[in-house]
Amino acid sequence: MVETIKLANGVEMPQLGFGVFQMDDLDECRRAVSQAIQVGYRLFDTAATYGNEAAVGQAIRESGIPRDQFFITSKMWISDYQGAAPEKAIDHSLSALGLDYIDLYLIHMPYGDVFNAWRAMEKAYQAGKLRAIGISNFSPDQTTNLMLFNQVKPQVNQLEVNPWNQQRENVTFNQSQGIQPEAWAPFAEGKDQIFTNQTLQTIAQAHQKTTGQVILRWLMQRKIVTIPKSVHRKRMQENFDIFDFSLSYDEMQMIGQLDRHKSQFFDPHDPAAMKAIVQGGRPGANQ
């Protein structure tokens, strides 16, 4: 049974969900989301820039499960932050998903006219189109700057968090502010043999679980929401089956020691990465 976390505005968010980044084939995306719904996932994480909001919405409608059982996240891309574009981007996400409201809407990257984007999101939040609003890839100073000059506090900050890049400082900062941290790429997309790491394997064997399940459990115990992606039903099931065991303090410490304090994809605060992303890259894609 997936536990929920109460956001600062009282909205309940499942602690475990399903991500659909790099599901460019819309039939595959719809099929994967349908299977994930059958497995039991109710939180789905998409974004305007993934190009698959419509496929996610279709799978949700086809499930026949009431809308209020789901928690749907989407994100605004940098090219929509300026002028009147944010309002249109929110309406576009709503119509692509085929929904009357989105549970959580995020500023995808902390570059460009984020203040303009945020103020449009505040209005849509107050109008009931968005149940919660948040940010992604923001550092503590960027988050503080946004909070100091706006009315609505971000509810969530979605960050890369995995055993290679544990983001302790940023996670702790968000938690201290009542902002829920959410981990993208919990498996570092499998980079650097994360699934066969010796430490993770030893812990997995002790619990008769897989390394993937140990990673997700480690995030649950750090009170971080996460959204692993898979197009394979067996793995969706495996990634969902993490609520019948706990890691000990020592096991949590052992995983803590795997931290390399470095992204496997991009450092959102590195000027070169920033430039590449603004000029058309999709964060994390094929790196």
Q: Give the binding site for ligand NAP (CB under 6 A).
A: 19-21, 45, 108, 136-137, 158, 184-190, 195, 212, 227-232, 235, 238-239, 283-284
d(CA 102, CA 46): 11
Residues involved in catalysis: 50
Least distance to ligand NAP, CB of residue 31, Å: 12
3-state secondary structure 56-96: HHHHHHHHCCCHHHCEEEEEECHHHCCCCHHHHHHHHHHHH
Nearer to ligand NAP, 173 or 187 (CB): 187
Q: What are phi and psi of 166, to 5 degrees?
A: -85, -15
Contact 74, 93 (CB under 8 A): yes
239 CB-side CA count, 13 A: 24
Least distance to ligand NAP, CB of residue 211, Å: 8
Question: DSSP letter at 127?
Answer: T
Angle between helices 85-97 and 114-126 (to 10 degrees): 50
Nearer to ligand NAP, 75 or 131 (CB): 75
Least distance to ligand NAP, CB of residue 201, Å: 13
Consult the annotation and say whether 269 binds a ligand: no
Nearer to ligand NAP, 20 or 90 (CB): 20
Which residue has its beta carbon closest to ligand NAP? 19
Nearer to ligand NAP, 131 or 209 (CB): 209
d(CA 65, CA 56): 14
Least distance to ligand NAP, CB of residue 143, Å: 14
Residues making up the annotated binding site are: 108
Residues making up the annotated binding site for substrate are: 108
